[in-house]
A and B are shown apart, each in its own frame.
Chain A
Amino acid sequence: MTNRAPRGSKAAKAATSALHTLVEAPEVRAESPTRLAWRKLRRHRLAVSGGAVVLSLYFITIFAEFLAPYSLDYTERSKFLHPPTRIHLLDEDRRPSWPFVYGTLLVDPGLRRYQEDRTERYPLRFFAAGEPYRFAWVIPANIRLFGVEKPGHVFLMGTDQFGRDQFSRILYGGRVSMFIGIYALLLTLPIGVAYGAISGYFGRRVDDVMMRVAEIVMSFPEFYLLLALASVLPPQIPSSQRLMLIILILSFVGWGGLARVIRGMVLVLRELEYVQAAQAAGARVPYLLARHIIPNTASFLIVSASLGVPGAILGESGLSFLGLGIQEPDASWGKLLASANSIQTLTGSPWLLWPGAFIAAAIAGYNLLGDGLRDALDPRSRSGGGFGRSRRRRRA
Chain B
Amino acid sequence: MLLGITLITFVVMQLAPGDFLSEMRMNPVVSPERIEQMRHNFGLDQPKPVQYLRWLGGLLRGDFGYSFAFQIPVLDLIGTRVGNTLLLNVSAFLFAWVIAVPLGIYSALNNYRFGDHALTVGALLGISLPTFFTGLLGLYFAYETKWLPIGGMTSVEYDFMDPFGKMADVAWHLVLPVIILGLGGIAGLMRQMRANMLEVMEQDYVRTARSKGLAGGVVIWKHAVRNAINPLITLFGFALGGLLSGSAILENIIGWPGLGNLLLEAVQKKDLYVVMGSLVIGSIMLVTGNLISDLLLAYVDPRVRYD
Contact = CB atoms under 8 A, between A and B. Distances in A.
A132 interface: no
B159 to A, nearest CB: 23
Contacts of A371: 124
A228 B263 contact: yes
B59 interface: no
Nearest to B253: A341
A247 B230 CA distance: 37
Q: Determine chain B's interface SS by DSSP, over half rule.
A: helix
A213 B242 CA distance: 21
A356 interface: yes
Interface in A221-253: 221-225, 227-232, 234
B130 interface: yes
A356 B136 CA distance: 9
B171 interface: no
Contacts of A199: none
Given A223-B244, A228-B12, A317 B132 contact: yes
Interface string A255-291: 0000000000000000000000000000000000000
Contacts of A212: 1, 4
A364 B134 CA distance: 14
A347 B124 contact: no
A48 B249 CA distance: 32
Contacts of B77: none
A219 B16 CA distance: 22
B182 interface: no
Contacts of B268: 231
Interface string B164-180: 00000000000000000
Nearest to B284: A219
A342 B250 CA distance: 13
Interface string B223-255: 000000000000000000110111011001100
A335 to B, nearest CB: 12
A337 interface: yes
B270 interface: yes
Query: Chain A interface residue count: which class?
Result: 35 or more
A371 B5 CA distance: 33
Given A217-B8, A347-B140, A224 B128 contact: no
Contacts of B12: 225, 228-229, 232
Given A341-B253, A343-B151, A216 B139 contact: no
Given A310-B128, A322-B264, A356-B133, A223 B5 contact: no
A326 interface: no
A367 B252 CA distance: 26
B258 to A, nearest CB: 12
A208 interface: no
A225 B9 CA distance: 9
Interface stretch (B35-43, B68-76, B207-215, B274-282): B274-282
Nearest to B112: A383
A368 interface: yes
A353 B137 CA distance: 8
A223 B245 contact: yes
Interface string A342-372: 0100110010010011011001100110010
Nearest to A314: B130
B86 interface: no
Q: Is the interface of A mostly helix, strand, loop or mixed?
A: helix
B130 A359 contact: yes
A154 interface: no
B130 A227 contact: no
Contacts of A225: 12, 279
A336 B151 CA distance: 21
A220 B282 contact: yes
A232 B15 CA distance: 6
Contact of A219 (B13, B263, B283): B283
Interface residues of B, number: 50
A171 B205 CA distance: 56
A324 interface: yes
B287 interface: yes
A223 to B, nearest CB: 3
B128 A318 contact: no
Interface string A192-226: 00000000000000000000110111011111110
A165 to B, nearest CB: 21
A347 B143 contact: yes
Interface in A293-330: 310, 314, 317-318, 321-322, 324
B275 to A, nearest CB: 6
A340 interface: yes
A324 to B, nearest CB: 7
Q: Which of A46, A231, A340, A346 has the most CB of B within 10 A?
A: A231
A360 B130 contact: yes
A319 to B, nearest CB: 10
B121 interface: yes
A213 B4 contact: yes
Contact of B133 (A217, A324, A353, A368): A353
Contacts of B8: 216-217, 220
A304 B268 CA distance: 33
Given A356-B133, A367-B124, A343 B139 contact: yes
Contacts of A222: 241-242, 245
Contacts of B275: 228, 231
B260 interface: yes
Contacts of B15: 232
B56 interface: no
B140 A221 contact: no
A227 B267 contact: yes
Given A220-B279, A224-B263, A343-B143, 17 more contacts: A216-B8, A221-B241, A221-B282, A221-B283, A221-B286, A223-B248, A224-B283, A227-B263, A229-B12, A234-B17, A318-B132, A321-B132, A324-B267, A341-B136, A346-B140, A353-B140, A360-B125
17 contacts: A219-B5, A220-B5, A220-B286, A224-B263, A224-B278, A228-B9, A228-B263, A231-B16, A232-B17, A317-B132, A321-B132, A340-B136, A360-B128, A360-B130, A363-B127, A363-B129, A371-B124
Per CB-CB distance, the 3 closest pairs between chain A and chain B, nearest first, are A223-B245, A356-B133, A364-B128
